[in-house]
Structure formats: C-alpha cells, structure tokens
C-alpha cells in the first residue's frame, strides 16, 4: 500500500477543554500525519511519532500479507500511542472522567491506561468510529481474551518496532514468526513476558487472558472430535473457544453445559439407559444461564454450583422445522460451555420431565475420557479434555499472578 499525506486530510477535530493542553489547534489544510507529527513535537515526544510511523509501516505490511484492512492498520499505527503524552496522574483522572474501568494493576502502573485512553481520544478528538481500529488500539499493549486478527496485528507491529538490545533477541523471533502466523508471533511475546517478569511490575489481567486464549486455541486443534462439526440429532454444532462471554449475543443462548469438578477431579453422570451424558441443559423461558446451570446441577447431580468459567460455546444450527421449545431461538442458537466447581450434597432430583440420572461418579480425567470414548462419545471426551485443560491453565495463571 502506497499512501500520501494528502490522502488523509483533517477537516475538523474536537478538542475538549480537559485536553487543550495536549492538542494544538488544527491548521488549515493539515493532514492527519502532519497534525500528529506536530502533536508529538508539541508534547516534546518526537521519538514517539517516529515509533508510531514504524508501527504503521509494519502494520500495513502485515495487513497486506494477511488480507486485512491496510487503512485500519495504518491508522492504528499512527494513533495507538497518542495518550502516552499524558502524565500518569492525569491518565487516572481522565480514565475516571471517561468512565473507563480502572483495574488495580492500572492504578499501580497508570501507563497501562494509555491503550484505552488512546482509543477514547481517537473517538473524541478525531471522530473515528471504526470498530476494528478502536478494538486494536484499545488492547495494543496487553491484548485481551476475545482478540481478533487486527488486534493481534497491531500488537505484533508495536512489539516489532522495538530495537533496543535487551529486547532484540525475541523481537527477531517475533519478526520471523509474523511471516508464518500472527498467533505464533503473539505467543512468542506472551511467553517471554510469562517466563521473564524481572522487568515487569505487574501482569495485566488482559494479558493473562490473552495468553489463555492462545493456549486454548492451540489445544483445541489437538482435539479432532471437538474441532469438527458435531451432530446431535437434527442439530449440527461447531465449537468455538472463548473465555469471555461478554461479546456473545445472550439472546441466542438456549443451553448451558459444564465440565463439573470437585477439586481436580471430574464429575460424570450416567443415565438410566447406560449413556454417559454431558451435564447441563436447556434454559427455561427468560432464565439467566447461571440460574439454569445451578438448577441443572441440582437436578442431575444433587449438587450446588460453586463457580463457573466459560471456555467456549457451540454455535448450533437445527434442521428441525420447529424449535425444541417455542421460546428457543431457531434455527441458530448457542450452547454455552464452561467448567466449574460443584459440591455434591445428595441424590439427583431427577424431575419427571427430564432425563433420569442413575449414577454420579467423581473420577480423574483419564477415567472420564476412557468412559466417554468407550461408549462412542469422542465429542464429550474432547469436551471434558478441553474443560480440564482450561482449568489447569487458569489455575496456573492465577497462581503466577499472585506471585508478583
């Protein structure tokens, strides 16, 4: 992509009173890159503009390589660090003013707020609203659980602009990996941070979640039954990893499933006909999914749900002419998937209108997988493996985070 400054004219910007100290008045016929260069000089950070230009060039190269929007990549490179000019104390003040949630790690290291503040300034000052641009800028330092390709692209391009001797060894590895896979490039940096925290005062929760996402995506590829389409009667389901359900359309959630755990062991339920079945079930009309899951745990295990962590969902499409129940979305719906601790307190309630559970066992992961595979349920075996793996990684991540 060849770009010219005149291709990015700035006809208008809006500078709120609280930002007048940082943003100079727009000059006649000024372009976006021309204004940004003057902005960083005005704030005595010309080196940051040099960095932003380097990031923009690399981001455009990666966008063209991976078939992504080169214009968005270019804008992300130019704009991603505009909030770095703001002193840390004012970052905290502005974040509160703009209703940006401030995490404890960000209070300890306010510099980390610059990614979300930059996103907000792009909207407020420059009036840019493209979701891909805002998302990528808003997580370019830490990434996050629900990262998309453009998020990974800007994150990698940002790291690839570093040239100091202490970062050069793994920057070289990231550069080589970026030619093969953005996910691989991201993983190299995340693992570097994870194994060498000497110079890192905090591990941002978003970065921890991003690492878990990369690990989950890679592990999913080792599970053939869960990676392929699954057929449950008239329903065709495809599993997608996701550790943050916030972005899902809750109106489409009609079922919720769980890999139930007691400590580090797994709970299994066997129906009267001898089948080992997946714990969970269908939501009642207007029932929140956590309420539904608690009800299912009581009905199928005689237990209490202690916690629940989403690790993915099944996107389902039904070939039936009518929905399973009148209020359920049709033909497309979501079956939420997660793991969680339960407390077994008695016998299953077994309501008469549901499947009857004859046996509840607590076993290790190897036994659970063997039972499911031996009865032809490789899909459920992989589901248990995925849930157990995500629990292990989450437990390790939590333990590591509390060490810092």
Would the pLDDT of 168 be above 70? no
Residue ranges of alpha helices (H) inside 221-259 are 224-227
Q: How many domains does the chain have?
A: 2
Q: What is the mean pLDDT of residues 234-246?
A: 91
Per the CB < 8 A criterion, the answer to whether 289 and 282 are in contact is no
175 and 319 belong to one structural domain: no
186 and 229 belong to one structural domain: no
Q: What is the mean pLDDT of residues 91-117?
A: 98
Per the CB < 8 A criterion, the answer to whether 139 and 155 are in contact is yes
- Give the C-alpha separation, 234 to 231, whole Å: 7
Q: What is the mean pLDDT of residues 369-390?
A: 97
DSSP 15-35: --GGGTTTSPPPPTT-BHHHH
191 and 328 belong to one structural domain: no
Going by C-alpha positions, the residue among 263, 203, 142 that lies closest to residue 398 is 203
209 and 238 belong to one structural domain: no
- H and E: helices and strands count for the chain: 15, 10
Q: Which CATH number do you get for residue 91?
A: 1.10.3210.10
Structural domain ending residue among the three candidates 218, 252, 282: 218
Residue 49: HSE in the Cβ half-sphere, 13 Å Cα cutoff: 15
Name the token pair of 162: 């570093």
- Quick one: pLDDT at residue 2? 62
> Per residue in 131-145, pLDDT tens?
999 999 999 999 999
Beta partners for residue 235, in sequence order = 232, 318
Question: Between the CA of residue 105 and those of 19, 102, 142, 201, 395, what are the distances in Å?
Answer: 25, 8, 12, 9, 19
> Per residue in 34-49, pLDDT tens?
999 999 999 999 999 9
Structural domain ending residue among the three candidates 173, 198, 218: 218
188 and 256 belong to one structural domain: no
Structural domain ending residue among the three candidates 218, 239, 274: 218
299 and 200 belong to one structural domain: no
- Quick one: pLDDT at residue 1? 61
- Quick one: pLDDT at residue 166? 53
Q: Name the one residue in this structure whose structure tokens are 């004219």.
A: 9
Beta partners for residue 335, in sequence order = 255, 314
Q: Report CA Rg, the chain.
A: 25
396 and 270 belong to one structural domain: yes
Q: Name the one residue in this structure whose structure tokens are 């990996």.
A: 177
Question: Between the CA of residue 238 and those of 63, 150, 379, what are the distances in Å?
Answer: 28, 23, 11
Per the CB < 8 A criterion, the answer to whether 32 and 11 are in contact is no
Name the token pair of 67: 């078939």
pTM, two decimal places: 0.87
- Give the C-alpha separation, 387 to 219, whole Å: 11
Per the CB < 8 A criterion, the answer to whether 55 and 79 are in contact is no
- Give the C-alpha separation, 401 to 285, whole Å: 39
Is pLDDT larger for residue 396 or for residue 265?
Answer: 265
382 and 247 belong to one structural domain: yes
Q: Which CATH number do you get for residue 254?
A: 3.90.79.10
Q: What does the DSSP 8-state code read for residue 283?
A: P
Name the token pair of 104: 């404890």
Residue 245: Cβ within 10 Å count: 20
Extended beta strands in 215-293, E state: 230-232, 235-241, 253-262, 265-271, 276-277, 280-282
- Quick one: pLDDT at residue 404? 45
269 and 377 belong to one structural domain: yes
**Which of 47-56, 148-157, 196-205, 245-254 has the lowest average pLDDT?**
196-205
- Give the C-alpha separation, 196 to 169, whole Å: 13
- Domain range for 146: 5-218
> Per residue in 44-73, pLDDT tens?
999 999 999 999 999 999 999 999 999 999
70 and 149 belong to one structural domain: yes
255 and 396 belong to one structural domain: yes
Burial of 205 (0-12, 13-18, 19+ CB in 10 A): middle
253 and 201 belong to one structural domain: no
Q: What is the mean pLDDT of residues 268-281?
A: 96
Beta partners for residue 258, in sequence order = 338
Q: At what angle do helices 114-124 and 131-138 cross, to 10 degrees?
A: 150
- Quick one: pLDDT at residue 172? 87
- Give the C-alpha separation, 124 to 99, whole Å: 13
- Left (φ > 0), alpha (ψ -120 to 50) or beta: where does 11 sit? alpha
């Amino acid at each position: 992509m060849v770009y010219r400054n005149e291709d990015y004219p700035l006809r208008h910007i809006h500078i709120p009173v609280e930002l007048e100290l940082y943003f100079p008045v727009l000059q006649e016929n000024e372009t976006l890159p021309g204004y940004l260069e003057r902005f960083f000089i005005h704030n005595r950070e010309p080196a940051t503009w040099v960095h932003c230009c380097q990031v923009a060039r690399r981001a455009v190269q990666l966008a063209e390589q991976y078939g992504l929007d080169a214009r968005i990549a270019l804008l992300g490179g130019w704009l991603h660090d505009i909030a770095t000019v703001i002193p840390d104390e004012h970052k905290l003040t502005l974040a509160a003013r703009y209703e940006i949630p401030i995490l404890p790690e960000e209070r300890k290291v306010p510099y980390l707020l610059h990614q979300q503040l930059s996103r907000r300034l792009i909207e407020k000052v420059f009036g840019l609203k493209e979701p891909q641009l805002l998302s990528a800028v808003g997580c370019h330092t830490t990434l996050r659980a629900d990262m998309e390709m453009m998020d990974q692209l800007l994150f990698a391009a940002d790291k690839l602009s570093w040239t100091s001797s202490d970062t050069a060894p793994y920057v070289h590895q990231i550069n080589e990996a970026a030619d093969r896979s953005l996910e691989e490039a991201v993983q190299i940096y995340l693992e570097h941070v994870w194994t060498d925290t000497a110079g890192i005062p905090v591990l941002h929760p978003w970065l921890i979640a991003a690492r878990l996402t990369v690990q989950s995506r890679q592990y999913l590829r080792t599970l053939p039954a869960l990676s392929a389409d699954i057929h449950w009667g008239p329903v065709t389901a495809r599993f997608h990893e996701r550790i943050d359900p916030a972005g899902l359309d809750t109106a489409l959630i009609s079922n919720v499933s769980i890999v139930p755990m007691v400590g580090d062991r797994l709970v299994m339920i066997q129906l009267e006909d001898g089948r080992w079945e997946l714990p969970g079930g269908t939501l009642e009309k207007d029932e929140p999914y956590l309420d539904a899951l608690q009800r299912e745990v009581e009905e199928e295990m005689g237990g209490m749900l202690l916690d629940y962590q989403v690790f993915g969902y099944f996107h389902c499409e039904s070939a039936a002419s009518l929905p399973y129940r009148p209020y359920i979305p049709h033909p497309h719906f979501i079956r939420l998937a997660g793991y969680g601790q339960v407390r077994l307190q008695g016998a299953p309630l077994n309501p008469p209108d549901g499947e009857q559970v004859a046996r509840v066992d607590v076993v290790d992961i190897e036994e659970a997988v063997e039972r499911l595979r031996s009865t032809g349920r490789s899909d459920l075996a992989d589901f248990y493996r995925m849930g157990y793996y995500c629990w292990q990684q989450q437990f390790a991540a939590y333990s590591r985070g509390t060490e810092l």
